[in-house]
Amino acid sequence: MKTKEQLLAMKNQIEAAKTKEAEKKGSLHYQLIQLKEQYGCNTIQEAQKMLDELDAKSRSLQQQFDKGVQELEKKYDLKEE
């Protein structure tokens, strides 16, 4: 059988876990509000979709930039040695 001290320690651990859970739920709620206000996303899935689209656009723009730099290097013979 568990001693009184062991039971109290377990009770304290449970209370601490409940507190952490409440904090995490509050943090998640706040982050979801920020997603909606700042980016118009109502769900994490919408935010992920937006992130994927922005990432694809960023990669495309980087490729265009790199191509332009290569064209300029070739046109003006600016290739580094």
- The whole domain housing 11 covers 1-40
Token reading at 34 = 């920020």
How many domains are contained in the chain?
2
pLDDT at residue 1 greater than cutoff 90: no
pLDDT in tens, 21-52: 999 999 999 999 999 999 999 999 999 999 99
Residue closest to 43 by CA, chosen among 35, 51, 55, 52: 35
Specify the pLDDT at position 79.
72
pTM: 0.66
Residues 47 and 72 in one domain: yes
State what percent of residues in the chain have pLDDT above 90.
Answer: 90
Residue closest to 46 by CA, chosen among 32, 56, 29, 57: 32
* Rounded-to-integer distance, Cα 42 and Cα 27, Å: 16
Residues 3 and 36 in one domain: yes
